Chains A and B, each alone.
Chain A
Amino acid sequence: MRQTRQGLPLAGLICALLALAAAPASAQETCGTCHPENRVSFDESIHAVESVTCSDCHGGDPVSREVEAAHSGKFRSLSNRREVPEMCGSCHSELERMRAYNLPVDQYAIYLTSQHGRAVAGGETRAAICTDCHGVHDIRRPRDPSSSANERNIPATCGQCHGDETLMQEFDLDPDVVTDYRSSIHGRLLLEEGSSAAPNCTSCHGVHGATPPGVGDVDKVCGACHEQTRKAFLAGPHYRGMIDAEIPECASCHSNHAIKRFGIERVESLCAECHGEDSDQAILGHKIHTLIEVASEAVAGAEELVHRADQAALEVEDPLSRVEEAKTYLTEALPVVHTVSQEPVEQLTRRAQSIAEEVEHELYSKLDRSVAHFGLVLFWFYLLLTIAILVILKKKLQSEAEAP
């Protein structure tokens, strides 16, 4: 009993010391006493995990319980939006700090070159600053799916401002870009199918240096993914012509945000839109369309025949494979259409068509039933002769029966 009583105060002291040592540095901060929401929201951020404290951004005296004292010294409320990028940049431009996280340190400099950065520098405080996209206290890593800067959330994040009609009107910007994007093949792939390969806003406009790509850059931006298409486009006459005439390259046919899957049948009307109904170019478009159409029909016909052959239990492994090769040539031909010349497209469609014809020829001869039908005719000839003999024998029997 005695020993215990003596031991109690000592144990209490040790516990208190241990608790102090174990608690994170921010736990000593008293900011949360008056700003509990901010504290809670901050605790979810990556900054809290990496031991960034309130005072690292806001200054002041974080351990003071006095309102006055706590907000004294170098305290900044950061309610002036112009201060924010610089403040974030103070750490995020520091190579020593960022190296361990493998984060680039030129983001702030890039931001200053962007439309947003320049507007803010020019005094337009409604332009986007770091916190508009990354969040204020609850900043998460972009790879965190709940981050507003995650690739799947970026269209919504950008849409906060760029989908706001009254705001965009003031800047003479199109407020439909986000809706257009959502309806596009890219938006559907990203938002509905969750394909990480599909581009979001930043894939084309840049991340921190967000600026619309201008004429001469569009093909490079699109070509980052659509390599083959760009190669064909650069090889054809459209590239130079469009740059010279200051027509945005890919976007003038495919539009910019509302990019839809493009059926080859659109080619014909598309050529006429710029070049006129009866122009040579419209005729060329018609030719290219026909080439692909005819080849596709031939391949579809071959595929149908392969199915029929399969139903008739013929060996179809090889022909089926060859149809697949023919389809590959057809898929290959679609990017090549961007050369807007007949020769390279025709090379591919001709190959597809010749495979289809080979397969059809081979299967037609195997599916041919005329030998079996001829056999059936012979069979019936023999059958009828047999019946005739049997009938004669029966007649003979009857006459025998009647004779006596």
Chain B
Amino acid sequence: MTEESTRDDLPELTPGRRKFLQWLTGGFLSLWGFGFLWVITSFLKPPHSKSSIAERVIKVGPLEDLPVGQARLVRRGREPIWVIRSDEENLVALAGVCTHMHCVLDWDAKQRSLDCPCHEGAFDLNGNVLKGPPPRPLKRYRVETRLGEIHLHVS
């Protein structure tokens, strides 16, 4: 609006260069707006997380990947869980740590038992203590197959 006076102030600039400078400044400042827009739209894009926010069900994987008599350790914080395919139809989910000294148990496919490597404790597929120092049976978890995928319920 006061073009004359500014031209007086900066006489060394040609109108073309002045315009270019104005464009540059405007573009530079408008980057802020684009920045904010970018942050907000990326924030609003829903994240593709594998589990729900209050995690109650863990997807362990397809049932066909777990042969009969085999087991898989689901790593879940301090309390990992063993998911065992006991026969063609049935799955068993048991706490993966010994009730004695909190050692992580090993699956013994031959004996069909969960063995503690630390003090020779062992548990059967019902979680009962077979031998050794464990004072309590293992906690059992609910596990089921939905559409061929193993769903482990933790609560």
A324 within 8 A of B: yes
Q: A396-B9, A400-B2 are in contact. Are A324 and B80 (CB under 8 A)?
A: yes
Q: Are B77 and A320 in contact (CB under 8 A)?
A: yes
Q: Looking across the interface, which residue of chain A has its beta carbon closest to that of B119?
A: A228
A-B contact count (CB 8 A): 66
CB neighbours (8 Å) of A385 from chain B are 28
B67 within 8 A of A: no
A89 within 8 A of B: no
Q: Looking across the interface, which residue of chain B has its beta carbon closest to that of A323?
A: B78
Q: Are B78 and A399 in contact (CB under 8 A)?
A: no
Contact with A along B118-144 (1 / 0, CB 8 A): 111000000000001101000000000
Give A321 to B75 CA distance when docked, in angstroms: 5
B41 within 8 A of A: no
CB neighbours (8 Å) of B133 from chain A are 197, 225
CB distance from B38 to the nearest CB of A (A): 13
CB distance from A391 to the nearest CB of B (A): 12
CB neighbours (8 Å) of B5 from chain A are 400, 403-404
A269 within 8 A of B: no
Q: What residues make up the interface of A, taking CB atoms closer than 8 Å to B?
A: 195, 197, 225-228, 316-318, 320-322, 324-325, 327-328, 331-332, 335, 382, 385-386, 389, 393, 396, 399-400, 403-404
Q: Are B77 and A321 in contact (CB under 8 A)?
A: yes
Q: Are B118 and A332 in contact (CB under 8 A)?
A: yes
Q: Are A317 and B75 in contact (CB under 8 A)?
A: yes
Give A396 to B78 CA distance when docked, in angstroms: 64
CB neighbours (8 Å) of B75 from chain A are 317-318, 321-322
CB distance from B62 to the nearest CB of A (A): 20
A-binding segment of B83-91, B98-106, B145-153: B98-106
Q: Are B135 and A325 in contact (CB under 8 A)?
A: no
CB neighbours (8 Å) of A317 from chain B are 75-77
Q: Are A228 and B118 in contact (CB under 8 A)?
A: yes
Give A393 to B24 CA distance when docked, in angstroms: 13
Q: Are A399 and B76 in contact (CB under 8 A)?
A: no
Q: A322-B75, A324-B104 are in contact. Are A228 and B120 (CB under 8 A)?
A: yes
Give A393 to B29 CA distance when docked, in angstroms: 12
CB distance from A226 to the nearest CB of B (A): 8
Give A317 to B76 CA distance when docked, in angstroms: 5
Q: Looking across the interface, which residue of chain A has its beta carbon closest to that of B2?
A: A400
CB neighbours (8 Å) of B132 from chain A are 227
Give A320 to B26 CA distance when docked, in angstroms: 51
B61 within 8 A of A: no
Give A317 to B50 CA distance when docked, in angstroms: 13
A-B contact pairs, 5 of them (CB 8 A): A320-B77, A321-B77, A321-B78, A328-B118, A332-B103
